[in-house]
Amino acid sequence: MSTLYSHNTKQGNILKIAVLGLGSVGKTTISKGYSGEISDLNQISMTKGVDITVKRMVYCGKTVTLQIWDFAGQKQFRFMIDVFLRGVKGVIYVYDVTDIETLVYLNEFVDLTRNYLENHFYPTIPEILVGNKLDIENAEVSIEDVHDFMKNYNIKKHFLVSGLYSVNVSEPFEYIVDHITNKESNLADELVSKYSGN
């Protein structure tokens, strides 16, 4: 049975984070740039199926291992969405600020994700929106477009990043870790209070 609580291993708490969006929006660049796995962008190619990146970090004195699941944006891989989302603790939806269609097509990814979570009785998990390619001046996606999308799907947080130059790429992941950890802490406090009779 899936719960919000992360399982413990010698690697510390393991948190699975899903990264969704159309191909070429820069999901892999963001994930690999954040993890420090790659320094040469020429090594990055279009993801086929799923690419998993691991990042270990220390949060509040505890080791946390992030499993960042980068899902291929091509339609032929959509049938894998159930496997991809199993056990997920947070979701990052990525669009390209220079291409409005990449934001429009996120509708499908959000709907697929929400349907899966509802059908499998998941608790509420953090979902955030990330606009990539901040380094390119001619943005096609306006702030109004972003606000409309967030309002339609009740997404509370938005980040602008540049995967190419690793600008702000850590912020989305750290936000999710902070959100999950605080929620788990609050749930634990509630359980202690409930069973201690306070």
Give the rounded percent of residues in the chain with a pLDDT score beyond 70.
76
Phi/psi at 112 (nearest 5 deg)? -60, -45
> Is residue 6 scored above 70 in pLDDT?
no
Average pLDDT score over residue span 171-187: 80
Give the chain's mean pLDDT: 82
- Residue-wise pLDDT for 53-68, tens only, equals 999 998 888 889 999 9
Give the other-Cβ count within 10 Å of 108's Cβ: 13
Least confident of 5-9, 69-73, 89-93: 5-9
Q: 71 or 77: which carries more pLDDT confidence?
A: 71
Q: Report the C-alpha gap between 129 and 27 in whole angstroms.
A: 12
Give the other-Cβ count within 10 Å of 11's Cβ: 12
Give the rounded percent of residues in the chain with a pLDDT score beyond 90.
58
pLDDT of residue 74: 64
In the block, tokens 């270990």 appear at 56
> Is residue 108 scored above 60 in pLDDT?
yes
Q: Report the C-alpha gap between 65 and 78 in whole angstroms.
A: 26
Specify the pTM: 0.83
Q: Report the C-alpha gap between 151 and 28 in whole angstroms.
A: 27
> Is residue 4 scored above 70 in pLDDT?
no
Q: Report the C-alpha gap between 107 and 93 in whole angstroms.
A: 10
Burial class (CB in 10 A: 0-12, 13-18, 19+), 190: exposed
- Residue-wise pLDDT for 76-88, tens only, equals 666 788 888 999 9
- Residue-wise pLDDT for 8-40, tens only, equals 345 568 999 999 999 889 999 999 889 886 544
**All domains in the chain, ordered by first residue:** 7-196 (3.40.50.300)
Instruction: Name the residue among 55, 107, 117, 115 with its Cα closest to residue 87.
Output: 117
> Is residue 156 scored above 70 in pLDDT?
yes
pLDDT of residue 182: 80
